[in-house]
Structure 1
Amino acid sequence: MHSWEALLLGLIEGLTEFLPVSSTAHLLLTEELLGVKSTGRTFEVLIQLGAILALLTVYSGRLWHLVSALPSDARSRRFVLAVLIAFLPAAVIGAAAHSFIKNYLFESPLIICIALVLGGIVLLFIDRLPLKPRYHDVMDLPLLSALGIGFCQCLAMIPGVSRSGSSIVGAMLLGADKRTAAEFSFFLAMPTMTGAFAYDLYKNWSILTPDDVGMIAIGFVAAFVAGVVVVRYALDFIARRGLSFFGWWRLLVGGVGLGALAVLH
């Protein structure tokens, strides 16, 4: 992998991680196009740290207020518990299925493209449903709803499904409005992505070379910069415009990918 390829992939990670389009699918398909492959497919997971730090940077004030309120505010404690409960399914299933996901699902462009197309159809369908939201503040989501969102997020272990997409759709079906669903997805990303980063680093640090570390560093910085921009504007965009744009984008990318696979085998 060259430096410019790591830079490009980092930008793609930052631009797509918090949108319901599947950053993993975009990374893996771009790598197929470029003809590159990272050691142990670790680059794709580890550069997520840049996106995580972008999210933490933008939400630093909100997080500080939340943490400082924990001793005295029951509502804040319940919200933190809701995020942790939502994280549990991914932590358990992700650890158990880690090898299968990395060794098989990450290696199948066909599965990725099909998941993109099916996910696009789901987003277009959900965006047109006459849903009647009951929750308009991310702090008000019930614990049981949070658990349901956590199980929905686990669908994103299939590359192409999208972590943010599955959690946003799950939250909307469980009564959250679009902005609240997207914001809960942001908060849920913090433990989920941090856990994925830590677990993948633990499993694969011994096979990384100095060149791998250098490329990961470039991708990390690019993901951080792009991630800051996306996090600042994504909530307002989703609240105003809904999910249809992302649904059509997924259909385009997945359709082009399927066409390329059919032609180029």
Structure 2
Amino acid sequence: MKLLRYGPFGQEKPGIIDSDGKLRCLSGVISDINGKTLSAETLNIINQLDLGTLPLIEEPVRIGSCVNGVGKFICIGLNYADHAAESGMAIPNEPEVFSKATSAISGPNDNIIKPKNSKKLDWEVELAIVIGEHASYVDVENAYDYIAGYCVCNDVSERNFQLERGSQWDKGKGCDTFGPLGPWLVTKDEIPDPLNLNMWLKVNDTQYQNGNTKTMVFDPAFIVSYLSQFMSLQPGDVISTGTPPGVGLGQTPPVYLKDGDTVTLGIEGLGVQQQLVVDYKKLH
């Protein structure tokens, strides 16, 4: 299933994509796409619906982040060996873990706001995991049981904030609009092999990233198991699993986003995002 949220910011309603690619309303079935509705039991109820009986939503319509009420937005850094190399950093022996502020979450096609004092605004196409069941001390062999599905994430990053203003990456990762999620939350039954998905990103007319999830250092099952040894994972939590090479920091010379740029990115089976970069100064 391809689940999504649509409508004005803060007023999104739950929806689903039918077999013809049309958007149908799920408001009569569930209240939202969030931790309360991502259990295997609820997803099974939705899966049994005759989608043709659900109200058809007239498009175009704004698409919001594909999951609401995210408790934790966790990221795995340097999880592709070739990206670590272009960043001049060693491949970690264990997952490199940091967090994005949940206030960074935005819709897949909402504007990226270039922050005040930003100098090195960058992009990262990533596969994100959405947790469906409470997970604590999970074995790798059972980790997929705790995953509701997957989505596209653009791990927008400000490299000056991240790397040149102290040792804490969170400062360069958590600005408003730095976490577009969606367009869809695709349930795991539609993604039988999350380790063989093509992924790409371009800025304006130039493609910078062209990778595949098969080159991950740590796979989704290991990541879920690993994180659950340090913190419980709750339904609705999002884990972004790292990016392949081709980020702006890795170009020679480096290339960074500027006001007016358009970022387009996608992952096989998970849909496409597109964002316009708008300078903070234009809004204030």
Give the alignment's TM-score, normalised by structure 2. Answer: 0.23
Greater RCO between the two (CA within 8 Å, min separation 6)? 1
Q: When the two structures are superposed, what TM-score results if normalisation uses the length of structure 1?
A: 0.24
